[in-house]
Amino acid sequence: MSPSELHAADRTRWFTDARFGMFIHWGLYSLLGRGEWARYTEAIPPDEYHALADQFQPRYFDAAAWARLAKAAGMKYMVLTTKHHDGFCLFDSQYTDFTSVKTAAGRDFVAEYVEACRAEGLRVGFYFSVKDWDFPAYFDGPERNPEGWAKLVDHFHNQAKELLTNYGKIDIFWFDCSDDANFRGGWGDKTADVWRSQELVAWIRNAQPDILLNNRSGLPGDFSTPEQTIPHASQPGVFESCVTMTYKSWGYCPSDHYKDLWRLLDELTACVAAGGNYLLNVGPDPDGVIPLPACERLLQMGEWLRLHGEAIYATERVLPDWWDYFSGGRITTKGNNAYLILQLWTPTGVLSLNQLRNDVRRAVLLATGQELAVRREGRRLLIEGLPALPPALPFNVVKLELDGPAAPQFYY
Ligand code: GLC
């Protein structure tokens, strides 16, 4: 590894250990309850959209409550939409009046959020939308309106610098939508040039040397961001899947449908078994309250992780991809341990594995600490003595202490 690769691995270490974070989409669009794209998809005129700021006075916004919930859910970091595509800033900006500080709310929500994350020992992430619908030049594009476009790019740089100067050490800067495929078909490999991202990223690396950057500035960044998908095989480099807890929307949308706990843990464990992070989104309501169905699921995930976190946090991806597909579950590894995440349960009391060449020193059911008998029969590893009913729901984990690093054998 070159010195810069080594530095990158060092920087991302806390992130790859963390595995699980909270994404929060919250802003003026939360008042509309139809997701975060309403300004654009419904062609809401600027004045009408701006007037929403008069109503944005979240009565129950409590960043400490958000951070406590994230922590109780077993999450290790948070990423908040400091500004989404609509251009409304949840922070104080000298470059626009369209902020929560200079309108009815009169509050710097980003400052409160940063303080709350730190108080709970959570890492702090800033989502920031590169595209900004508040700039007419954005719709003209750089060819038709080079001057207006240059102002928009300056605005982007200025605000990113404000965010990374005024709030102390920030752990993640999460760019979004520089490529803009859904509007113009994408800038492709010109994206970084169009936004002068090289210049901004150099400034950021200097100002915040430990910060992690995602891959949506037009440059590769420290991690990639599959959206609404969980890769079922390991990816090159570090990745973080960002996913909604409801089926469709990131911003508050009370009519959307919530995924159940099984599905959420399925996504989390799939991500981790593929070597990635899981950034799970919630959309607080206009009063700043995270909807109860989301709280319920997060607390349940936390409960599951308190029993089984060892199989999730700081796990390593050392296995070939086909290892994920052992019947009824997934496998993660750490040092000489392998964790069998059992999504299916069998009342026979016996688990038969066909993927492992190692000898097993000890097998333990994590939920109860019960030790299980293990014996080898040719290719098969038989784990015996499991109770007829699963001790935890929805998934259980059997920890195997191996004679060395996990040594896979391919099915025959
Ligand atoms: C997309 C959407 C946006 C959402 C984001 C999350 O870029 O435009 O609404 O914030 O994905 O990954």
- What are the tens digits of pLDDT across the range 347-397? 899 998 888 899 999 999 999 999 999 999 998 999 999 999 999 999 999
**Below-50 pLDDT ranges, the chain:** none
- Ligand 1 centroid to Cα of residue 252, in Å, is 13
Contact 241, 264 (CB under 8 A): no
Q: Is 176 in the pocket of ligand 1 (CB under 6 A)?
A: yes
Q: For residue 22, what are the contacts with CB-CB under 8 A and spacing of at least 6? A: 66, 69, 70, 73, 75, 77, 78, 79, 279, 280, 281, 282, 298
Of the candidates 225, 311, 322, the residue with the CA atom closest to the CA atom of residue 265: 311
The pTM for the full model equals: 0.96
- Ligand 1 centroid to Cα of residue 372, in Å, is 45
pLDDT tens for each residue of 196-212: 999 999 999 999 999 99
For 407, counting Cβ atoms within 10 Å of its Cβ (0-12 exposed, 13-18 middle, 19+ buried), the class is: middle
- Ligand 1 centroid to Cα of residue 154, in Å, is 22
Half-sphere exposure of 343 (CA within 13 A, CB side): 18
Q: Check residue 4 and give its pLDDT.
A: 62
Q: Is 242 in the pocket of ligand 1 (CB under 6 A)?
A: yes
Q: Check residue 115 and give its pLDDT.
A: 98
Q: Check residue 10 and give its pLDDT.
A: 87
Distance CA 102, CA 343 (A): 50
Distance CA 160, CA 237 (A): 25
- Ligand 1 centroid to Cα of residue 231, in Å, is 18
Residue nearest to atom 4 of ligand 1 (CA): 250
- Ligand 1 centroid to Cα of residue 39, in Å, is 14
DSSP 408: B
Q: Which atom of ligand 1 is nearest to the CA of 177?
A: 7
Residue nearest to atom 5 of ligand 1 (CA): 176
Distance spanning both ends of the chain, measured CA to CA: 36
- Ligand 1 centroid to Cα of residue 47, in Å, is 24
Residue nearest to atom 8 of ligand 1 (CA): 177
For 286, counting Cβ atoms within 10 Å of its Cβ (0-12 exposed, 13-18 middle, 19+ buried), the class is: buried
Q: Is 177 in the pocket of ligand 1 (CB under 6 A)?
A: yes
Contact 270, 42 (CB under 8 A): no
Q: Is 36 in the pocket of ligand 1 (CB under 6 A)?
A: yes
Q: Which amino acid is at 20?
A: F
Contact 63, 112 (CB under 8 A): yes
Q: Check residue 318 and give its pLDDT.
A: 63
Q: Is 270 in the pocket of ligand 1 (CB under 6 A)?
A: no
